[in-house]
Chains A and B, each alone.
Chain A
Amino acid sequence: MRHRGDVSVFRMSLLIVLLLPYLAPFGYVLFTSLKSNATYSVDPLGLSGFRGLVSYREAWSATDLGAELLHSLLAAGVGVIVSVTVSVLGGYWLFAARSRRARQLVSAVLLSAMAVPSTVYVIPLFVQLASAGLVDNLVVLGTIYGAIGAPLGSFLMRSYLMQLPTSVFDAASVDGAGTTSLLRLVVLPLCLPVIGTIATLIGILGLSDLLLASVMITGQSQTTAVVGIATLANMYDSQVPEVAAGVVVALIPILTVFLIAQRALRRGITSGMER
């Protein structure tokens, strides 16, 4: 017993040591965003030379961060709507289609689309969309996120439907419900937790993306926040506090989604346990 206690104390201290490299970078970026350029270059870790939110104001005006955040939210929002819609329908099909052959074939296509990194298709996709006049368009960018999320979303949806109790569907099919009303009255309400999961994953994907956003959006006027910060970091090499402030601001939407999603998931789980 004593031995066990020693082990867990040892393990606890090990874990605390491990946490440090995870918390320190975020602490550092917050700390630095509040310092002035001059004091940063003299002493990056010194506890003096704070200047409030001046760096935030500078970052905000230097890259038009407010508009960029809106662009990010728009593209990610479109991505969420598209992927959720497509995944609910597609996931239900993967679950309830009669032909086993067709299900396997479609699954194989979706799985391989999921395994291919976006680097492979970003260049030809750009060429394809440019010739169709669809670049520099945040809705199109969001639709691309939706397409990338569609396979994963469909699979998540199918897996979720598979672990629901059979009785749910029995009752509905005895009532003679068609597919449309089944989807609307049974599948949709029951699948809200997994829909939340899909929405979160694709939302975070959209808010985090650099590659697609920088290739598909060529003009300055439609830049997303992540691209804006990456550009800022390259341009203003010496003004570290400003870049730090930009990173903090761009992290906020992702952190928000992360926190909200945790709660939504927990709610879905508890309601599932009650049943």
Chain B
Amino acid sequence: MSDVTGPRTSTAGATEVGAQLNEAGGKGRGKSSRLLSVGGALRGVARQRARRAGLPAAPAVLIVPALGLVGYFIVLPIATVVLHAFTNWQPGMSSPFDGLANFRALTTSEEFRSILGNEAFLLLGLPFWVAVPVLISFALYERVRGANVFRAVLFFPSMTSPALIGVLFGLLLSPIGPIDRILTDLHMGFLAQNWLANSGLVKPVLLCVTVWWVTGIGVVLFSANLATLPQNLLEQAEIDGAGWMRKLWTVVVPDLLPTLRVWLLLLMIIVLGNMFPWIYTLTHGGPGYASTTLDYFIYNTAINIGQFGPAAAATVVLLALLGICIGLGMIVMKLAKWR
């Protein structure tokens, strides 16, 4: 056992970037992901200083385009929006300093409170978003025939546009759509309803649709991680009489911790900042504010209503929530690793 944990820790220490590599490399699946994750495990070795010493020093000019683009298109706007959160922001006109007025307006707004509730609901759904791909990749791990085809089928939707998938599910879930039709034909018409116009159901439905979409990426990520898991570890556990659940908890989940950390980070970014295409194509935030998310609110408040100050304040709230969630997530994962 101990001889396997040695090299494994180097992968465990791999940063988010390392896993991004696995994610991207996982597109080839099977061999490719295996090869690239082995590359990831070797990174500790590859870090030898001797390698760099042999090369001419790379001039700083090489990094200027990347920093310039990121600076102009990402960092500068972020600075702008944070500063203007404290002003009565009117683009093209003078924007007088306004203190916390924008934030005060948000805290008294019924809509904004509903939005925070919606975000909390989606964040509580995270275990679901984690469990589904972990279980699937574990089920695919032990030489299942057709595993690659299966992974490809799951992976394709998560590589397509959320907006197009949103439109597609809008058709599926509509009251004249096939889901309600099938329910009626099966004499379960009492279940048929306008899924997206029911304020109690709209959030769970959104959760299911987004899980449907995101699972493929998760399966590719977790499978790439599992490919580096020594086969004999599981066999050993089996000989020791471990059942499916026990193997999952004692061997697979600890092995997946580094990927889990990246995955949680990714999910939080999606839930807090990338729900827009789903809301835009499926619900427009309705019924009422039952499905409005923070990012949709920001878009709607600035672009449709033209209130840039409150939108900027909501952006700061988003950034703060993202920071808190990522920080908490990191702490939890760290504790889990120590245990």
List the interface of chain A (C-beta within 8 A of B): 8, 11-12, 14-15, 18-19, 21-23, 25, 28-29, 32, 41, 43-45, 82, 85-87, 89-90, 92-98, 102, 106, 109-111, 113, 115-125, 127-128, 130-131, 143-144, 146-148, 150-152, 154-156, 158-160, 162-163, 166, 169-170, 173, 177-179, 182, 197-198, 200-201, 204, 207-211, 215, 226-227, 229-230, 233, 240, 243-244, 246-247, 250-251, 254-255, 258, 261-262, 265-266, 269, 272-273
Contact = CB atoms under 8 A, between A and B. Distances in A.
A156 B54 contact: no
Contacts of A131: 91-92
A163 B299 contact: no
A172 to B, nearest CB: 8
A100 to B, nearest CB: 10
Contact of A229 (B156, B167, B319): B167
Given A45-B182, A265-B27, A143 B73 contact: yes
Given A151-B70, A169-B51, A230-B281, A15 B181 contact: no
Contacts, number: 310
A19 B78 contact: no
Given A11-B144, A255-B156, 14 more contacts: A15-B139, A89-B63, A97-B58, A110-B66, A116-B78, A125-B77, A155-B17, A210-B281, A211-B276, A233-B167, A243-B171, A258-B160, A261-B27, A266-B28
Contact of B67 (A18, A82, A106, A115): A106
30 contacts: A8-B142, A11-B139, A15-B150, A90-B66, A96-B56, A97-B57, A98-B58, A102-B60, A109-B70, A111-B17, A115-B269, A116-B74, A119-B298, A123-B303, A124-B80, A143-B73, A146-B69, A148-B74, A150-B70, A162-B46, A166-B51, A169-B55, A210-B280, A226-B163, A229-B164, A230-B167, A240-B174, A251-B160, A254-B160, A266-B28
B17 A166 contact: no
A244 B169 CA distance: 11
B50 A215 contact: no
Interface string B147-169: 00010111011011111101111
Nearest to B48: A166
Contacts of B277: 210-211, 230
B281 to A, nearest CB: 5
Contact of A123 (B55, B169, B302): B302
Contact of B299 (A14, A200, A211, A226): A211
A207 B50 CA distance: 42
B253 interface: no
A258 B67 CA distance: 29
Interface of B: 16-18, 20-21, 24-25, 27-28, 31-32, 35, 39-40, 42-43, 46-48, 50-52, 54-60, 62-63, 65-67, 69-70, 72-78, 80-81, 84, 91-92, 136, 139-140, 142, 144-146, 150, 152-154, 156-157, 159-164, 166-172, 174, 176-178, 181-182, 185, 212, 265, 269-270, 272-274, 276-277, 280-281, 294-295, 298-299, 302-303, 308, 311-312, 315, 318-319, 322, 326
Which of B142, B145, B167 is packed against the most chain A CB atoms within 10 Å?
B167
A254 B161 contact: yes
A28 B73 CA distance: 39
A243 B77 CA distance: 35
Contact of B80 (A97, A110, A128, A182): A128
Contacts of A125: 73, 77
A72 B115 CA distance: 32
A155 B20 contact: yes
Nearest to A103: B63
A147 B43 contact: no
Nearest to A254: B160
Contacts of A229: 163-164, 167
Contacts of B43: 159, 162-163
Contacts of B74: 113, 116, 121, 147-148
B66 A86 contact: yes
Contacts of B25: 197, 265
Contacts of A148: 73-74
Contacts of B73: 121, 125, 143-144, 147-148
B17 A15 contact: no
Contacts of B59: 93, 179
B265 A115 contact: yes
B27 A262 contact: yes
Nearest to B54: A173
A166 B83 CA distance: 47
A28 B172 contact: yes
A215 B56 CA distance: 44
B153 to A, nearest CB: 5
Contact of B62 (A28, A90, A254): A90
